[in-house]
Amino acid sequence: MEAAQPDTSTSRTTFLPFSPPSITEQEIEAVVDTLRSSWITTGPKTKAFEQEFAQYIGAKGALALNSCTAGLHVALATLDIGPGDEVITTPMTFCSSVNVIEHVGATPILADICADTLCIDPAQVEGKITPRTKAILPVHYAGHPVDMDPLLEMARKHKLAIIEDAAHAIPASYKGRMVGTMGDFASFSFYATKNMTTAEGGMLTGSPEQLERARMISLHGMNRDAWKRYTAEGSWYYEVVTPGFKYNMTDLQAAIGLVQLQRLVEMQQRRHEVVDQYNLAFSQIDALQIPVERPEVESAWHLYVLRLNLDRLKINRAQFIEEMKARQIGTSVHFIPIHLHPFYRDKYDLKPDDFPVAQAQYERVVSLPLHPGLTKDDVADVIAAVTDICEVYQC
């Protein structure tokens, strides 16, 4: 196929970023207040953030960490998953979901995805369970909850743990239950592009008993909170009972998170407005497939993943992205599947046809701008750009 020459005509004079954070004076003032306080590392604001987050989603407890990746790693370590064990997860995810399985010495086992939601397919998971399986790590792709009931039933039947990768899924719900309240653990991300941010950061939810051990593992394996050692009621004495990690969240991050949590409803409202406008426009174009939202869920709509019907276009996905860039619109691809990355491909001898659904869907997904800062004109520009490309390059 010959490479198409991008049409550089556009009404935009500035580039529209894919997903900048939504930061207001409220977050800035909260950070300044923290800088002027006695605590800038893990302290009272981190504790308050944990409590308010757990209350928001209805979790029994929460542990603030420096990333979602840290949360997944700590969850695996807390459950004593390691060499000789297997953890089933999806190929349609960011590498961190699978890297943490390698970090604890376990073996990642990939199960293909559902063609509609792009989430892990429970029917494929069941066939991957062996006597070595210790956990299932479902990823709530793009903010759409995984079909959890079949996975929870498998976990009960085979005595497996469920660790939800909820990086995209605040606030999402499945059959009336908030994501983060169904498995043994769930790990959320507050990275700069997420629905709510702390710049970098994450939250691990679970039972108070499990989180007590997770908290210790997340901070050097010490048997008391570091910040309490420097308070009036604290003690200088501590013991290291396991070789833990350095994964704690700071009060500077938590200060941002507390404000973002208060603003989450209004930010989500804007996301929904943009999704509705995209769906209305793109559902009329034969060359496009809009994302689904199953009736039993409420998606967090972290991403708007458009799928190209390539048999109705004269260009491929890479060329489509270049055409969008020429029209001053930022896009992305979520994700390059795990089985295509050299480390996993070579170590486990993985091939594209091992995961036919993930492979086929990957080749046609494009993520469009979706964030609370999008103006009416921004949304109109995205719709105009996509529509124009489809008209110019339709078969």
Residues classed as catalytic: 194
Torsion angle of C-alpha atoms 394, 279, 283, 321, degrees rounded to 10: 20
**Using CA atoms, how far apart are residues 6 and 162, in angstroms rounded to an integer?**
46
Q: What token pair was written down for 243?
A: 């070789």
**Using CA atoms, how far apart are residues 28 and 42, in angstroms rounded to an integer?**
18
CB 366 within 8 A of CB 321: yes
Q: How many residues does the chain have?
A: 395
Q: What token pair was written down for 299?
A: 């998606």
Query: In degrees rounded to 5, what are phi and psi of residue 118?
Result: 70, 15
Among 132, 130, 148, 231, which residue's Cα sits nearest to residue 186? 148
262 Cβ partners below 8 Å, 6+ apart? Answer: 26
Among 118, 272, 252, which residue's Cα sits nearest to residue 198? 252
* Residue carrying structure tokens 């492979």: 359
Torsion angle of C-alpha atoms 169, 174, 176, 178, degrees rounded to 10: -30
